[in-house]
Amino acid sequence: MGKKKEEKKRPASDSSDSSDSDSGPDDRNEPASKKSKGSASSSSSGRKNESGETYFELERGRRVTVREFKGKLYVDIREFYEKDGKMNPGKKGISLSTSQWNKFKALIGEVDEAIQDIS
């Protein structure tokens, strides 16, 4: 029971290292995952994963992937963890349909304003 209280307090610390992933401790070992691909800019060109899907690195262990599932296109924003030298998707993330993605993009200006109001 005491552990639950600690977990609730941890996100309030606002540390950039904390991971809220439910996928286990493996996702905390990300720095070693930068291998032969070199450093890619998160805002320039995407990379391809093993399935041929295009993805973009947000920061260590977090990706935006464009994928097709059951004939529909999705934008998947998800945490990843490394296990046995392979990057695996964690449980923590969200998949947006193209209509949800477009609505999200339309709200970015308002979200930016709300961030400025708070900070």
Structural domains in the chain, CATH included, are 45-119 (2.30.31.10)
* Nearest residue to 46 (alpha-carbon basis) of 15, 75, 69, 20: 75
pLDDT for the residue 38: 38
pLDDT for the residue 24: 47
Q: What is the pTM of this model?
A: 0.59
Q: Tokens representing 70? A: 């059951």
Reported as a single tens digit per residue, the pLDDT across 2-16 is 544 444 444 444 444
Computed on alpha carbons and rounded to an integer, the radius of gyration of the chain in Å comes to 16
| Average pLDDT of the residues of the chain | 76
Q: What is the share, in percent, of the chain residues with pLDDT greater than 70?
A: 63
Residue 37's pLDDT band (cuts 50, 70, 90): very low
pLDDT at 101 exceeding the cut of 50: yes
| Calpha distance 55→67 (Å, rounded) | 9
CB-based contact 55:64 (threshold 8 Å): yes
Reported as a single tens digit per residue, the pLDDT across 54-91 is 999 999 899 999 999 999 999 999 999 999 998 889 99
DSSP secondary structure string for all residues of 75-96: EEEEEEEEETTEEEEEEEEEEE
pLDDT for the residue 71: 95
pLDDT for the residue 5: 46
pLDDT for the residue 60: 87
Question: Residues with Cβ < 8 Å from 33, sequence gap 6 or more?
Answer: 60, 61, 82, 87
